[in-house]
């Protein structure tokens, strides 16, 4: 005989509760060890008393969901009349045509503080057969909330699915994080509505993987929604799901994501504290027509790092309810991880090897490799600025907090982008009018972005330990202490950044190296205490909102100073550089070498006409200055005026007959004019001089062999 369910008169009650004896359908009972029990409050209390299980709060499907202003797409119909029940027992208040409509209603109720459950009418969960669900979708709430829910649902309008796709109106809430989604944002896979975030997709796949069906022909467990058996190939005739009630709950622990706008504001504040004092120091000198003292400028930048580091540690302490020591540990200052240090050393090997081979190749082409004059101060800048400051701010602080609720790639890309942007100061005339041009700056930004991705990977896989990539970062920057600008002769057929080849080789090897050496990391947002799975509290968004009234004016004022500097710095710095040279030459008017150095300075600033004029002034003082004739020839050679350049090199050889660099340039210019026999003679002059620069002899011999071989090949 047909026995109606006590909660659902339209369903059959196949299961009898052990405590009250009522008949219920499969949606209203829980199967325990050998018996069934219903979900009514008295029966649950008796069961807990017998089992000595502590009381737990009823799970809700809507955790952290906020109401949305658009609800025209909702269709609520067929409101049932329901019998009197216990206030906490579930009751169906509405049935919907689609999961999107039901989820939207659920999110609307969550905005009123009402918890609800969404399930398929037939099987008691949200799993479809293909793209269509088995039965209508029902919405359940507690009996005590039923009347209020019906009034709320009555106020919702009709559905407009076509307009919803065009306008992006909300389609429902993600099952796992509660985010309101439109149709474009929602995942296209069958089953529960979910967003595309990594955590929610992982939870979705894990839940779908647990749903298996037995093949009726061979008994093999087939995962849902697979249609064919993997063992015998038979098609599964129908879907039968065995699910516990209450599956519509949050499966991923809610981790508050740090809003990127808040992170960006704090980053701007840190960058302002780091750079604005140095820019003001340089700008004040430029306005007075003076060049700033580079040593003082370096120390100002180094001293400005201290408040930045203090702010980062203090913000970490406040965001996470930590002590000062705990904040340092959270930023990555833990006991060094030997395996992470080993990975960093393995990453450095190809970088340093590439630097060595690149420097050797430059030296063979006549470049003088030596330490820069201010290498000690720059070493401190690398240790404190690149090593301590940048790793603390960009790996320990920004990446660590942006990682909350985000995928690794998303957090690492955002952090690396911010890190790359800060290197735009290479294109600013901070110490004078000299700076990198646009192509060099773009290459540098790309290198820094890639290094940031690699650094975040090593940082996370090393257990959020800062020491590994800090070692690699310092090792990479150490090569900048060497001067590769060359001496009187530098003509290279190699790319200017040839020695960066080792870096790119190392980047390619980083992934297998780190995967091989380091274990998988712990999940971020989880406490590091042994066995702890409690989400770490986070106050970043609230505190940044509170500090916004102070930070925003400071950032805007810093942006105004930066804009003024960028607009006027190049012109003012060139004027200051000219004043500096004028001051020197006014007191040493007969110093021909001063005019030559001034000409070289102007040549580096791409002012060839002014550089040639200074060469003429130097020759007016000393017509026999061979280095000035050599520089004039190099300027003409850069302009591809090889004929005039040959004349200048001839003059340079006349007054500096023992300068091997003159004959190298002379031969190189003749070679470009097609006078290979004469070029060979000039290169042989280099071999006859036996210069102290042994690389000159190697290069001259190499060019002689190349020209002879080319002559033989052409008959």
* Alpha helices by DSSP H, 492-641: 501-517, 540-587, 592-604, 608-621, 626-638
Residue 89: both structure tokens together: 């027992």
In percent, the amount of the chain with pLDDT more than 90 equals 14
Strand order in the sheet with 117-120: 90-96, 137-142, 117-120
Residue 50, burial from CB neighbour count under 10 angstroms (0-12, 13-18, 19+): exposed
70, 163, 167, 168, 192 from 160: Cα distances, Å: 11, 5, 10, 11, 21
Residue 452: which of 411, 500, 496 has the closest Cα? 411
Q: What are phi and psi of 332, to 5 degrees?
A: 115, 0
Among the ranges given (202-211, 237-246, 281-290, 574-583), the one the predictor scored with the smallest mean pLDDT: 237-246
Greater confidence (211 vs 562) lies with 562
Q: State the pLDDT at residue 713.
A: 66
Q: Given the structure tokens 């797409």, which residue do they identify? A: 73
> Cα-flanking dihedrals φ and ψ of residue 546, to 5°?
-70, -35
Number of H helices, E strands in the chain: 24, 13
CA distances from 145 to 86, 103, 304 (A): 11, 18, 59
248: pLDDT strictly greater than 50: no
Question: How far is the C-alpha of 504 from the C-alpha of 481, rounded, in Å?
Answer: 20
Name the 3-class secondary structure at 602: helix
Question: Do residues 92 and 81 make contact, with C-beta atoms less than 8 angstroms apart?
Answer: no
Note the pLDDT tens digit of each residue in 439-491. 888 888 988 998 899 889 889 888 888 998 899 888 888 877 876 665 565 55
For CA atoms 689, 695, 698, 704, the dihedral sign is: negative
Looking up tokens 């829980």, which residue turns up? 30
**Distance between CA 533 and CA 140 in Å, rounded?**
31
Of 426, 466, 422, 407, residue with least CA distance to 267: 422
| Euclidean distance between CA atoms 205 and 326, whole angstroms | 35
Identify the helix (H) or strand (E) that includes residue 491: none
Dist. CA 419–CA 37, nearest whole Å? 59
Token couple for 407: 């995928």
pLDDT-above-70 percentage for the chain = 66
Give residue-wise pLDDT tens across range 583-625: 888 887 778 888 888 888 888 888 888 889 989 888 888 888 8
Given pLDDT bands bounded at 50, 70 and 90, which one contains residue 246?
A: very low
| The pair of three-digit structure tokens given for residue 514, joined into one six-digit string | 């780190």
DSSP 304-327: THHHHHHHHHHHHHHHHT--HHHH
Pair 229, 152: CB distance under 8 Å: no
Q: Which two tokens stand for residue 647?
A: 């004349």
Residues comprising the chain, all counted: 715
pLDDT in tens, 646-697: 888 888 888 888 888 888 888 888 888 888 888 888 888 888 887 766 667 7
DSSP E strand boundaries for 265-402: 370-371
């Amino acid at each position: 005989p047909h026995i109606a369910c006590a909660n659902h008169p339209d369903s059959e009650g196949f299961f009898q509760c052990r405590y009250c004896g009522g008949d219920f359908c499969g949606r209203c009972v829980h199967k325990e060890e050998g018996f069934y029990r219903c979900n009514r409050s008295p029966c649950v209390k008796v069961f807990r008393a017998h089992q000595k299980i502590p009381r737990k709060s009823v799970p809700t499907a809507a955790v952290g969901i906020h109401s949305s202003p658009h609800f025209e797409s909702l269709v609520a119909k067929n409101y049932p009349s329901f019998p009197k029940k216990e206030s906490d027992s579930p009751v169906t208040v509405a049935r919907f045509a689609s999961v999107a409509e039901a989820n939207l209603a659920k999110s609307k109720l969550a905005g009123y503080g009402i918890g609800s459950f969404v399930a398929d009418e037939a099987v008691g969960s949200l799993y479809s057969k293909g793209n269509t669900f088995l039965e209508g979708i029902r919405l359940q709430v507690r009996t005590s909330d039923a009347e209020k829910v019906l009034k709320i649902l009555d106020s919702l309008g009709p559905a407009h699915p076509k307009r919803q796709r065009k306008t992006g109106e909300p389609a429902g809430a993600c099952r796992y994080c509660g985010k309101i989604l439109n149709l474009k944002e929602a995942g296209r896979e069958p089953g529960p509505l979910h967003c595309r975030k990594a955590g929610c997709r992982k939870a979705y796949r894990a839940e779908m993987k647990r749903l298996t069906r037995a093949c009726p022909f061979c008994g093999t467990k087939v995962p849902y929604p697979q249609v064919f058996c993997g063992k015998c190939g038979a098609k599964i005739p129908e879907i039968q799901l065995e699910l516990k009630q209450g599956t519509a709950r949050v499966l991923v622990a809610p981790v508050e994501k740090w809003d990127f706008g808040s992170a960006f504001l704090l980053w701007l504040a840190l960058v302002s504290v780091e750079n604005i004092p140095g820019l003001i120091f340089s700008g004040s000198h430029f306005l007075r027509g003076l060049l700033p003292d580079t040593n003082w400028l370096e120390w100002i930048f180094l001293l400005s790092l201290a408040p930045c580091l203090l702010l980062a540690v203090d913000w970490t302490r406040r965001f996470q309810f930590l002590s000062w020591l705990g904040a340092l540990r959270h930023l990555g200052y833990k006991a060094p991880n030997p395996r992470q240090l080993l990975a960093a050393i393995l990453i450095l090997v190809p970088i340093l090897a590439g630097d060595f081979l690149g420097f050797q190749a430059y030296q063979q082409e006549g470049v003088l490799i030596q330490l820069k004059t201010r290498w000690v101060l720059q070493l401190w800048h690398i240790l404190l600025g690149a090593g301590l400051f940048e790793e603390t701010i960009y790996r320990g602080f920004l990446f660590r907090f942006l990682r909350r609720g985000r995928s690794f790639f998303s957090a690492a890309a955002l952090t690396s982008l911010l890190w790359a942007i800060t290197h735009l100061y290479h294109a600013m005339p901070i110490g004078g009018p000299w700076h990198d041009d646009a192509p060099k700056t773009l290459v540098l930004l790309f290198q820094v972005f890639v290094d940031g991705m690699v650094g975040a990977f090593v940082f996370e896989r090393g257990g959020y330990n800062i020491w590994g990539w800090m070692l690699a970062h310092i090792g990479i920057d150490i090569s900048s202490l060497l001067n590769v600008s060359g001496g009187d002769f530098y003509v290279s057929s190699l790319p200017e950044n040839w020695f960066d080849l080792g870096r790119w080789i190392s980047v390619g090897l980083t992934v297998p190296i780190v995967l091989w050496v380091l274990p998988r990391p712990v999940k971020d947002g989880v406490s590091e205490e042994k066995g702890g799975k409690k989400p770490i509290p986070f106050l970043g968004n609230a505190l940044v909102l509170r500090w916004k009234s102070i930070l925003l004016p400071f950032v805007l004022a810093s942006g105004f100073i930066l804009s003024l500097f960028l607009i006027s710095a190049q012109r003012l710095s060139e004027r200051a550089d000219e004043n500096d040279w004028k001051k020197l030459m006014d007191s040493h008017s007969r110093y021909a070498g001063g005019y030559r150095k001034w000409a070289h300075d102007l040549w580096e600033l791409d002012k060839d006409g002014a550089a040639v004029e200074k060469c003429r002034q130097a020759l007016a003082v000393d017509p026999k200055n061979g280095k000035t004739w050599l520089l004039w020839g190099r300027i003409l050679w850069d302009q591809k005026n090889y004929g005039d350049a040959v004349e200048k090199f001839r003059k340079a050889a006349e007054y500096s007959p023992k300068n091997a660099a003159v004959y190298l340039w002379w031969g190189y210019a003749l070679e470009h004019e097609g006078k290979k026999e004469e070029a060979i003679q000039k290169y042989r002059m280099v071999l006859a001089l036996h210069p102290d620069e042994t690389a000159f002899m190697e290069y001259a011999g190499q060019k002689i062999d190349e020209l002879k071989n080319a002559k033989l090949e052409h008959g």
